[in-house]
Amino acid sequence: MTAIDTDIVVDGSLDEAPWRQSPKIGELVQRIPRAGARPTERTEVTLLHDKDNLYIGVMCYDSEPDRVLASQMARDAMLNPDDRLSIILDTFRDQSNAFYFSTNPNGALVDGLVFANGETNEDWDAIWIVRTKRSDKGWSAEFSIPFKSLSFPSGETVWGFNISRIIQRKLEEVRWTGARFQTQFFQVSEAGEITNLDGLEQGVGLDVRPFIAQRWLHEGTTGNDVVRGKPGLDLFYNLTPSLRLSTTINTDFGETEVDARQINLTRFSIFFPEKRSFFLQDAGVFNFATTGVDQPGGIPSTGAEIFPFFSRRIGLLGGQEVPIDYGIKLTGKAGRTEIGVLNVRTRDTPVVDNKNLFVGRVRQNFLEQSYVGAIFTGGDPAGRSSSGPFDPPTSSSLSSTLGADMRLATSNFLGTNRNMLFNAWGLKTNTEGISENNASYGFAAHYANDKFQGQLMWREIQENFDPELGFVQRTNVRMLRLGASFNPRPKPSTGIQQMFHDVFYTRFTRLDNGLVETEKFYFTLVDWHLNSGDSLHSLFDLNPTYERLFEPFEISPGVVLPAGEYRFMPMRIFFTSAQKRKLQGSIGLTFGSFWSGTAKTVRAGLRYQIPPKFSISLDSNQTFAQLPEGNFVARIFSTQVNYAVSPFLSFSNLVQFDNRSGNLGLQSRVRWTLEPGNDVFFIFGQGWIQEIGDFFDFRQQDSRLATKLQYTFRF
């Protein structure tokens, strides 16, 4: 790292003296397709800093510059189809948490947070800038990341750092460190070190972001128009260089993207991700060990998800918004201790009284990648109020959840440079009048490596376990999951990049009577990823299933399955073409026996792009079921049309329809970044309801228009 005292003009051209005269960080190493080999294209990386900013200059040489792939441009775009650069900064050198920045040859700004040595929150937005430039030598990128946008320990001059370059047309990845098949880029423990970070300044450490939001609602049934406007304020203050206080007042989430439609054909709750910015900031500190084991691609999740804290329970009730008066959040680190405290006050509405909702989380890190932690949540978003606006809820007055967890992890298991993870946890809820069968606990072990993977999960979820500020998918069960994967990499001459083969077994046993409720096998016989970028994800995958219904189950309106035992075996075929192509598609078919009859599910997607500004996608998911109890069809259609004028001005349009609700919805969203931290949003929404008996006849419902202007002052 080279310290400079001259100005840097961030324009993508690395022709200023500091770039030319400063030393490079050293050669990058190929990870894929040949781990440890020299890259096929040269990459030069230079790191500079002054007292206010970190500068990263990257020259991506390319022997065929006309073949560099760059299709995306919008803020936070998915860059998988493109050549790209990704950077992580482990500012605390804790080998677990990091800041993440990425771009492509179009200069798209993508950022996020890494936590728990591999999990990510890519909805986090920082104030930073990147510029790129293409030439007959390849392309270059120039990053400028203000130290005010980062948190780091005062006085420390060594950070963790890694950089990855993807050459998409070759399916080649090169890295500075950790260039092994089994090492994922977001494994912060594999990052290298950068030094000489002296004299860094964060100023006062205060960001003040006032905003003005306005909404217009036209009620389709009455014809009435309602206009509401309000000012608000978001404030961020670094109490120390590593501890941040975030406050939101008169909060507005009008700019949030709409949820993707889902139709639930199971007996259990389905999960919708958080998308609101205040709750996404530093969300990783509230993460709990129940979410610590990922499933291989194509293997469904366990169906027994548990989140002791799920932020969508705050400010949303029954799909309707509950206004938030204010929220206060303290997140950060003190030494090796991570802290997260959240207190939110919701407003009185005709449906529910005002509420004070509280979450506290602490993690004590030890060794390189391990921790022990505890969590407490208090408050019931749909129940009675607490006594005061800043009073943490007590077990005697409010519903609460208390839990502890532990994570033991290493990337050098038994001295073999292999990954191994073990976690364990216990939770207990407290609701008035319920003092028994209100706990949940479990453990998981995961051997997550490139060629071989294995996992064991066990958890018990008692009948009265009910985290009011969390999410639990099913109760009164004991779950066991065992799985193994064999994923060889054939010689390049075969045309196959990697082959995946999985065997997974999941069993749920009822706690009240000891009987098996669900038993499933997943056999992935063929999952081949080709050197062309195309993938045959499944070819007659088998899913033998046993279900026992203890009471009737209405799987679709008017179609009720009686209590009893069911054995069926769906099979699946799924293919996707390479994302690098202008026209890219996917097709999947699941068919075979289904509950008491048969069913076919057809999933299809098509995306066309005119790089780098325009893309359109069409997706459908349709299930056709024929059961003795009745036939039904479940349909979801969606289309996305995106246009990016530049990385700072983008238009997105999403149209969705599902035949379960009969609702056709449109959301059009404009985001204009005047400069980093200063944004204007325009969001228009329109709904229509399908008339009964006529597929093409729709009745107009409510129309909505939301605008928001936010401006950041940094001190």
pLDDT tens digit string along 230-248?
Answer: 899 999 999 988 899 999 9
- Please report the pLDDT score of residue 260 as a whole number: 87
Q: Which residue has the tokens 């706990």?
A: 439
- Please report the pLDDT score of residue 391 as a whole number: 46
pLDDT at 620 over 80: yes
Would you say residue 500 lies in a domain? no
Would you say residue 64 lies in a domain? yes
Would you say residue 164 lies in a domain? yes
Pick from 111, 107, 109, 110: which is nearest to 132 by CA?
107
The pLDDT tens digits for 139-155 are 999 999 999 999 898 88
The pLDDT tens digits for 294-303 are 888 888 889 8
pLDDT at 396 over 80: no
pLDDT at 591 over 50: yes
Report residue 656's pLDDT band, with 50, 70 and 90 as the boundaries.
very high
Beta bridge partners of 364: 337, 372
Residue 113's CATH number: 2.60.40.1190
Beta bridge partners of 225: 218
Q: Which residue has the higher pLDDT, 148 or 283?
A: 148
Q: CB neighbours of 612 closer than 8 A, spacing ≥ 6?
A: 70, 71, 72, 73, 106, 644
Would you say residue 543 lies in a domain? no
Long-range CB contact pairs, 655-663, < 8 A, 24+: 656/258, 656/260, 656/261, 657/261, 657/690, 658/261, 658/263, 658/634, 659/633, 659/634, 659/635, 659/690, 660/263, 660/556, 660/557, 660/634, 662/689, 662/690, 662/692, 663/687, 663/688, 663/689, 663/690, 663/701
Report residue 279's pLDDT band, with 50, 70 and 90 as the boundaries.
confident
End-to-end CA distance of the chain: 26
Pick from 559, 529, 525, 528: which is nearest to 542 by CA?
525
Would you say residue 10 lies in a domain? yes
Would you say residue 54 lies in a domain? yes
Over residues 290-319, mean pLDDT = 87
Report residue 120's pLDDT band, with 50, 70 and 90 as the boundaries.
confident
Over residues 200-229, mean pLDDT = 90
C-alpha triplet 150, 154, 158: angle, nearest 5°: 80
Q: CA-CA distance, 678 to 696, in Å (whole number)?
A: 42
Q: CA-CA distance, 127 to 141, in Å (whole number)?
A: 17
Task: Report the domain count for the chain.
Answer: 1
Q: CA-CA distance, 56 to 47, in Å (whole number)?
A: 5
- Please report the pLDDT score of residue 388 as a whole number: 43
- Please report the pLDDT score of residue 298 as a whole number: 82
Distances (CA, A) of 100 to 115, 277, 329: 10, 17, 22
pLDDT at 293 over 90: no
Pick from 491, 487, 459: which is nearest to 475 by CA?
459
Phi, psi of 53 (to 5 degrees): -140, 150
Would you say residue 131 lies in a domain? yes
Burial class (CB in 10 A: 0-12, 13-18, 19+), 154: exposed
User: In this predicted structure, which of 379-388, 610-619, 658-667, 699-708 has the lowest mean pLDDT?
Assistant: 379-388
The pLDDT tens digits for 529-586 are 999 999 999 999 999 999 999 999 999 999 999 999 999 999 999 999 998 899 999 9
- Please report the pLDDT score of residue 393 as a whole number: 43
| The overall pTM is greater than 0.95 | no
Pick from 535, 641, 640, 637: which is nearest to 578 by CA?
535
Would you say residue 497 lies in a domain? no
Q: CA-CA distance, 479 to 440, in Å (whole number)?
A: 11
Q: CB neighbours of 99 closer than 8 A, spacing ≥ 6?
A: 88, 89, 91, 111, 113, 114, 126, 150
pLDDT at 384 over 60: no
Over residues 14-19, mean pLDDT = 93
Strand 98-103 and strand 306-307: the pairing is unpaired
Report residue 386's pLDDT band, with 50, 70 and 90 as the boundaries.
very low
How many residues are listed for the chain in this entry?
Answer: 715
For residue 278, the surrounding DSSP H or E stretch is helix 277-280
Q: Which residue has the higher pLDDT, 395 or 63?
A: 63
pLDDT at 642 over 90: yes
The parent domain of residue 78 ranges over 2-194
- Check if the beta carbon of residue 81 is closer than 8 Å to that of residue 69: yes
Report residue 385's pLDDT band, with 50, 70 and 90 as the boundaries.
very low
How much of the chain is in helix, strand and coil states, percent to nearest 5?
A: 5, 55, 40
pLDDT at 66 over 70: yes
- Please report the pLDDT score of residue 122 as a whole number: 82
Per cent of the chain over pLDDT 90 is 75
Q: CB neighbours of 624 closer than 8 A, spacing ≥ 6?
A: 599, 600, 601, 602, 631, 633
How many C-beta atoms surround the C-beta of residue 21 within 10 A?
Answer: 10
Cis amide leading into 612 (omega within 30): yes
For residue 540, the surrounding DSSP H or E stretch is strand 535-542
DSSP class of 579? T
Q: CA-CA distance, 174 to 168, in Å (whole number)?
A: 11
pLDDT at 635 over 90: yes
pLDDT at 694 over 80: no
Q: Which two tokens stand for residue 196?
A: 């000489």
